[in-house]
Amino acid sequence: MNERSLLKIGVFGTIIAALCCFTPVLVVLLSLIGLSALTDYLDYVLFPALAFFIVLTVYALWHRKKCETHNKGG
């Protein structure tokens, strides 16, 4: 997987997880389809997902910078 697609996945995942963590978007959507009982468990899934996507974004940015400096030097 190249660094461009890795960065896109990381940023997109971070935005989606942050929206679901800090706004009631997912709670409203789950209640509309009758799955509001699952909202008790959202914190156990969304916060680790948010942390994972933030780490993925930071890794992609670090890898991109490392490749750019390596290509400039050679």
Average pLDDT by consecutive 10-residue portion of the chain (74 residues)? 83 86 80 84 85 92 84 68
**6 Cβ neighbours under 8 A, 6+ residues apart:** 56, 59, 60, 63
- Is there a contact between 13 and 59 (Cβ–Cβ < 8 Å)? no
Instruction: Give the pTM.
Output: 0.74
